[in-house]
Amino acid sequence: MKTVILCGGKGTRLRAGNEVIPKALVDIGGRPILWHIMMIYAAQGFNEFVLCLGYKGAEIKEHFMLKEGIFRGDFLMDTSTPDWDRAVSLERREFTPLKIIFADTGENTPTGGRIKIASKYVEGDTFMATYGDGLTDVDLNALLAFHRKQETLGTVTVVNPTSQFGEVVIGKDHKVREFREKPKMEKWVNGGFFVFEREFFSYLGERDILEREPLERLAVDGQLSAFRHEGFWQCMDTFKDASVLNDLWSKGDAPWEIWKV
């Protein structure tokens, strides 16, 4: 089963002065957040990916070829063979097998359009999709089982994120009763980590934003289910978010690191 990852956006973290890197390559614990996302899937048996590339997509390709792929360390290229352009690693390295399709989906294409363009690489009736900037310890097999039980065209993982601000509880006498330090929100929000049936492609246009008309139409048609995840989830929209994730990793307290459990 393919997992489509939206990784065409710009990063908010700066490198080398004012140079902006693809958001999916923002570093978490020495590796890009995209690698962490792929490992969450691979650790649970989903190791085939379609990466929807956009802004500086070549840098994402280069990362996986040069740092994660066969060009890391010593390698052999024999131009006397018919497939001379294929290099062979000379080092025996332990790594998680990943099958990756790098799909150029346009620098400014909206999220829904990226999935539409990448649809030619998705086989079978069911596929997964997510953003390239969120980490979680969600049970993907439970998500898939829930989706199949619901028999809808789409399922979105919903979460209760931690509030950005602390809460002040005020009594009827206008006196402060207590302070609550950044409590969890009571409302459910889109946490990404979707499952779709291929009929969903008919809801998508190449200029569509995924979260707007496509998902809204799916909901109106009664074809979108919500899988509630109450465990760890953290998006990475700001430098502060990246710092939080790096801090968790450095302390050895990264809940999304399920491949080490």
Q: What is the pLDDT of residue 158?
A: 95
| Calpha distance 191→135 (Å, rounded) | 9
- Please report, as a single letter, which amino acid is at residue 63: H
| Calpha distance 198→204 (Å, rounded) | 11
- Model confidence at 154: pLDDT above 90: yes
In this structure, the number of other CB atoms found within 10 A of the CB of residue 191 comes to 24
| Calpha distance 9→190 (Å, rounded) | 18
- Model confidence at 97: pLDDT above 90: no
| Calpha distance 203→175 (Å, rounded) | 51
pLDDT band for 78, please (50, 70, 90 cuts): low
In this structure, the number of other CB atoms found within 10 A of the CB of residue 244 comes to 14
Superfamily of domain 2-260 in the CATH hierarchy: Spore Coat Polysaccharide Biosynthesis Protein SpsA; Chain A (3.90.550.10)
Q: What is the 3-state secondary structure (H, E, C) of the chain?
A: CEEEEEECCEEEEEECCCEEEEHHHCEECCEEHHHHHHHHHHCCCCCEEEEEECCCHHHHHHHHHHCCCCCCCCEECCCCCCCCCCCEECCCCCCCCCEEEEEECCCCCCHHHHHHHHHHHCCCCEEEEEECCEEECCCHHHHHHHHHHHCCCEEEEEECCECCCCEEEECCCCCEEEEECCCECCCCEECCCEEEEHHHHHHCCCCCCCCCHHHHHHHHCCCEEEEEECCCEEECCCHHHHHHHHHHHHCCCCCCCHHHC
In this structure, the number of other CB atoms found within 10 A of the CB of residue 153 comes to 21
Percent of all residues in the chain with a pLDDT value above 70, rounded to a whole number: 78
Where do the domains of the chain lie?
Answer: 2-260
Contact criterion met (CB below 8 Å) for 136 and 193: yes
pLDDT per residue over 2-43, tens digit each? 999 999 887 655 454 446 788 999 999 999 999 999 999 999
Q: What is the pLDDT of residue 64?
A: 87
pLDDT band for 171, please (50, 70, 90 cuts): confident
- Token pair, residue 100, equals 């990756």
| Calpha distance 174→65 (Å, rounded) | 61
- Model confidence at 216: pLDDT above 70: yes
pLDDT band for 230, please (50, 70, 90 cuts): very high
pLDDT band for 176, please (50, 70, 90 cuts): low
Q: What is the pLDDT of residue 173?
A: 73
1 or 186: which carries more pLDDT confidence? Answer: 1
Which range, of 73-87, 101-115, 182-196, averages the lowest pLDDT? 73-87
Which residues make beta-bridge pairs with 226? 156
| Calpha distance 246→22 (Å, rounded) | 17
Summary mean pLDDT of the chain: 86
Q: Mean pLDDT across the stretch 162-187?
A: 67
Q: What is the pLDDT of residue 16?
A: 44
